[in-house]
Amino acid sequence: MNKSANVALTLPDGSVRTYPGPVTGSILAADIGPGLTKAAIAIVVNGDQWDLSREIEQNSDVAIITNRDEAALEILRHDAAHILAEAVKELYPEVQVTIGPAIDNGFYYDFARDIPFTTDDLAIIEKRMVEIIERDEDIIRSEMDRNDAVKFFHNMGEDYKAELIAAIPEGQAITLYKQGDFIDLCRGPHLPSTGKLGKDCFKLMKVAGAYWRGDSNNEMLQRIYGTAWRTKKELKAYLIRLEEAEKRDHRKLGKQMKLFHFQEEAAGMPFWHPNGWTIYQEIEAYIRRIQKNYSYQEIKTPQLVDRILWEKSGHADKFHEHMYTTESDNRTFALKPMNCPCHVQVFNQGIVSYRDLPLRMAEFGSCHRYEPSGALHGLMRVRSFVQDDAHIFCTEEQITDECITFCKMLLEVYKDFGFEDVKVKFSDRPDVRAGNDNVWDKAEAALIAAVDSAGLDYTLNPGEGAFYGPKLEFVLTDAIGRDWQCGTFQVDYVLPERLDAQYVGSDNDKHRPVMLHRAILGSFERFIGILIEEHAGRFPMWLAPTQVVVTGITSDQDDHVRSVYKQLIAAGLRAEMDLRSEKINYKIREHSHAKTPAIYVVGAREAEENTVTVRRLGSKQQRTLDLNAAINDLKAESLAPDQR
RNA sequence: GCCGCUGUAGCUCAGUGGUAGAGCGCGUCAUUGGUAAUGACGAGGUCGGAAGUUCAAUUCUUCCCAGCGGCACCA
């Protein structure tokens, strides 16, 4: 070790402060100014986050983290988790603590306790947390030998902690943090004292079950979630954001806007109503046009296929518990959970020449999967769904080009739906998989080469590939910053082998094609759910179930309203008319609530002049336009993005 | 599937060991009003399902189903 008597600390602005010996972040902060003493939370030492109380013994580049820094949030939240654990241990000493990390927007802590926490407990715990913050306990770091630490926690009755430490490699020092009487295993860093967390900057949110170490074979722990922020204002803003997100909830809007419903007799399987089905059909027609442009052929295959096919394909092996089956003819049939094996059957009819490749086969195939009951979530996770599914049969040499073209197509589609921000993840071989390692080496190499050629940045998602091949996953970000994984592109050498797909090459020999599985939207159900939340129900004109409502001021205009309505329908628009004897205020309010994008009002004046007064959703402005001009505007606006 | 919570009118929700209520919506009538709620009257519920405790269950208990929040899973 290169210890010098003097310790020189270089600050971000380049200035250097020298101390005669080891120095702590706190001392440094105090030297710089009293304001910083108060605001300081931790210190970055040569890129690592340290506690303010930890002694710096060598010359270092340092930066003090204050509560104004983003980095402060994670530390703060981690501390909130510790304060939560301390409060729980004080209130319920029989509870064992396990882990409690900072997460997006907050923190959680998992406890082992026979009796689950209730929401009433949350208020009590929260109160105790405030007390701990007011006590302003010092948070003290110490190190302990691994084996000593295991004993230490066992003696305290904290078996889970002991198990965690036992899993840390031998010889590695263990850091402990003590605040009041509460000691926890932790990497740190932490705030200097509990008082640094604002007592009105956090809130406990919910209780939930969570498996020990995330494994469903293990016992279930009691998890308490909380949110924590630097300021009360930030906390409030976050809570408002949650409320806003709730308003967009597609399940709520789906009901309100009469798009679809679910019921007990068909859990997880949507009943589409006329409004929702209109959106669905628009999207399907759009995708069909795009696919045609990209030289896909559309097919349709059976819903019910003998189990034997699923055994051959390997799906039954891995997913039989998630497949619906039915008996008939002394055979077991499975409702198809996916389309690919059926597409291979189509491919296998007759003889395909290398000249026919790449062969792009698309199907809006209705699939069923018995999803675990706890997984169901509105349209986002269903048991019956349709994908914009397609399989490309091609040669190895064609993979790259196909991938490039697909990426282009996918970005085009996302853009048409208003999603410009797209992330790509590359998922490689999972532990449980079909096909030998040579095949996987080949498939992964081909896919990486392809995505590189497509010019897309991607992040690695190790072990998350499909059982038959690696995949790219396309993630889009919605209007309120949430990520949704939708598109996929998978390279598959396994299924063609298992289902014996062949083509005749230019050498007149038989060869295996490679199969590329791909989807852009993923499931229509889920994508529509995403769109509902993206637009908060205010669909763009081309998707709006009702595009325009015509209504009169008084019943004297009824005939004229009928005539305008007929012209709108004749123009191919999804129009409604409202002839009820309600006041115009009432009708405007109602149709605005229904999120109808355009309202045409005809009073005596408009009827006389053959005009309409147009009111657009979200605007109080009224514009009186010539009827034909208004209809033409609406027609232009209601074209799908690819038709403009 | 696992942990917890919830399930009352079409919707949102209140309520009670003695078989139920509001607002909105719906229907009828009146009203003909220029851009986010006109008024009156009326219809509508075996209180998620099954069993149990009780003189009596929508209310208490158990089981089942579904939904919600998480966890696990997601070809």
Structure confidence by residue, pLDDT tens digits, A39-58 = 899 999 999 999 998 999 99
| Whether A255 is catalytic | no
Q: State the complex-level ipTM.
A: 0.95
What is the average per-residue pLDDT within A10-21?
A: 91
| Nucleotides in chain B with any atom closer than 7 Å to protein CB | 1-5, 7, 11-12, 30-38, 65-75
pLDDT tens readout for residues A341-379 = 999 999 999 999 999 999 999 999 999 999 999 999 999
Q: How far is the CA of A412 from the C1' of B25 (A)?
A: 42
Q: How far is the CA of A587 from the C1' of B33 (A)?
A: 11
- Residue A4 has a pLDDT of 53
A591: the nucleotide nearest its CA (via C1') is B36
| Whether A557 is catalytic | no
User: Which H helix or E strand runs over A520?
Assistant: strand A514-523
A249: the nucleotide nearest its CA (via C1') is B68
Residue nearest to nucleotide B24 (CA to C1'): A590
Collapsed DSSP state (helix, strand, coil) of residue A34: helix
A313: the nucleotide nearest its CA (via C1') is B75
CATH class of the domain at A7-66: alpha beta
Residue nearest to nucleotide B67 (CA to C1'): A264
Q: How far is the CA of A230 from the C1' of B21 (A)?
A: 45
A602: the nucleotide nearest its CA (via C1') is B34
- Residue A38 has a pLDDT of 86
Topology at the third CATH level for domain A72-245: Threonyl-tRNA Synthetase; Chain A, domain 2 (3.30.980)
A209: the nucleotide nearest its CA (via C1') is B3
Task: Indicate the pLDDT class of residue A187, thresholds 50, 70 and 90.
Answer: confident
Worst-scoring range by mean pLDDT, A451-455, A522-526, A555-559? A451-455
Cα–Cα distance for residue pair A305/A300, rounded to 1 Å: 13
Worst-scoring range by mean pLDDT, A17-31, A207-221, A627-641? A17-31
Between helix A558-570 and helix A627-637 the angle, nearest 10°, is 40
Cis peptide before A358 (omega within 30 of 0): yes
Between helix A524-535 and helix A274-293 the angle, nearest 10°, is 110
Residue A432 predicted with pLDDT over 50? yes
Domain boundaries, chain A: 7-66, 72-245, 260-534, 548-643
- Residue A169 has a pLDDT of 85
Q: What is the mean pLDDT of chain A?
A: 94
A316: the nucleotide nearest its CA (via C1') is B75
As a whole number of Å, the end-to-end CA separation of chain A is: 69
| Whether A471 is catalytic | yes
- The pLDDT > 70 percentage for chain A reads 99
What is the average per-residue pLDDT within A171-180?
A: 90
Q: Is the backbone of residue A107 left (phi > 0), alpha (psi -120 to 50) or beta?
A: beta
* Catalytic position from the list A223, A368, A369, A518: A369
Neighbour tally for A292: CB within 10 Å: 12
* Catalytic position from the list A248, A368, A471, A526: A471
Q: How far is the CA of A614 from the C1' of B35 (A)?
A: 10
A260-534 CATH: 3.30.930.10
* Catalytic position from the list A517, A526, A587, A615: A517
Contact criterion met (CB below 8 Å) for A276 and A254? yes
Q: How far is the CA of A165 from the C1' of B63 (A)?
A: 42
Read off the pTM. Answer: 0.94
Cα–Cα distance for residue pair A140/A560, rounded to 1 Å: 80
Cis peptide before A189 (omega within 30 of 0): yes
Same CATH topology for A260-534 and A548-643?
Answer: no
Q: How far is the CA of A373 from the C1' of B58 (A)?
A: 27
Q: How far is the CA of A580 from the C1' of B43 (A)?
A: 20
- Sequence-distant (6+) residues with CB within 8 A of A74 are A102
Residue A3 predicted with pLDDT over 90? no
What is the average per-residue pLDDT within A406-435?
A: 94
Cα–Cα distance for residue pair A584/A32, rounded to 1 Å: 67
What is the average per-residue pLDDT within A396-400?
A: 93
| Whether A403 is catalytic | no
- Residue A87 has a pLDDT of 97
Q: Which CATH number fits domain A548-643: 3.30.750.24, 3.40.50.800, 1.20.1090.10, 3.90.1300.10?
A: 3.40.50.800
- Residue A521 has a pLDDT of 98
A595: the nucleotide nearest its CA (via C1') is B36
- Residue A5 has a pLDDT of 78
- Residue A60 has a pLDDT of 92
Residue nearest to nucleotide B31 (CA to C1'): A581
Q: How far is the CA of A618 from the C1' of B51 (A)?
A: 54
Q: How far is the CA of A223 from the C1' of B4 (A)?
A: 10
| Whether A340 is catalytic | yes
pLDDT tens readout for residues A55-111 = 999 999 999 999 888 889 999 999 999 999 999 999 999 999 999 999 999 999 999
* Catalytic position from the list A391, A526, A560, A587: A391
* Catalytic position from the list A340, A367, A403, A407: A340
What's the burial of A567, exposed, middle or buried (CB within 10 Å: 0-12/13-18/19+)?
A: middle
Task: Residue A105: name the closest of A205, A187, A16, A253 by CA.
Answer: A205
Residue nearest to nucleotide B36 (CA to C1'): A589
- Residue A1 has a pLDDT of 44
* Catalytic position from the list A121, A184, A388, A389: A389
| Whether A367 is catalytic | no
| Whether A431 is catalytic | no
